[in-house]
Amino acid sequence: MKKFEVDCTRLRPGVYIFQHSHDTTTLDLRFVRPNHGVYLPSPAMHTIEHLGNFYLRSREAHSIELIYFGPMSSRTGFYLIVSGWQNPLHKESPIFLTIKSMLKFIIDFEGEIPGTNARECSNYKEHDLAGAKEWAARYLHELKKPHFEYPVKEGYNENSVWQQLGTEGD
């Protein structure tokens, strides 16, 4: 999937395969609908990032190796990059179950957020545990009827974009 093929006007919260190459898969964990005025607040996202990384790095999750878990700049979700997992994506796939377990971990978390000090975090004062729990619960609720297939823009042609720019795409 190429980023500009996705129709953001029809994109719903869900889990999508953004890219798969060789042994690495990039997943789009879309928490909210794009362009609908509701975005994840930065402090809650930051806390989800810390707790999600702590959870995913602290366990052997169905032989899935975590490469990266971090926020989207659009504040609509997170990217999860893993190695050692193969398609397909469905309600019983190990990666989907791991994502749901991570969300439950965030919802139930009590105590000090891992890595929230000046030595380990470049913005350690901007966290919101209550907000992270709320957004994790909202997303977990959305995943009861998950969306796995990206809506694709009709008529999108990458070559026409390159032609408009006066260059050849490869």
Give mean pLDDT, residues 25-49.
Answer: 96
Q: Which helix (H) or strand (E) holds 14?
A: strand 14-21
**At 168, is the pLDDT very low, low, confident or very high (cuts 50, 70, 90)?**
low
E-strand stretches of 36-166:
65-71, 77-83
Residues 18, 145: Cα–Cα separation, whole Å: 19
pLDDT at 5: 85
- Whether the model clears a pTM of 0.85, i.e. scores above it, the answer is yes
The pair of structure tokens assigned to 142 is 């959305």
CB 113 within 8 A of CB 129: yes
Report DSSP letters for 15-51, one per residue: EEEEEEETTEEEEEEE-S-TTSS----HHHHHHHHHH
Give mean pLDDT, residues 18-34.
Answer: 92
Higher pLDDT, 101 or 155: 101
3-class SS shares of the chain: helix, strand, coil, % to 5: 35, 20, 50
Give mean pLDDT, residues 137-144.
Answer: 97
**At 110, is the pLDDT very low, low, confident or very high (cuts 50, 70, 90)?**
very high
Give mean pLDDT, residues 74-103.
Answer: 90
pLDDT tops 60 at residue 158:
no
pLDDT tops 60 at residue 126:
yes
Lowest mean per-residue pLDDT among 56-60, 61-65, 75-79: 61-65
pLDDT at 157: 59
Give mean pLDDT, residues 95-108.
Answer: 95
pLDDT at 153: 81
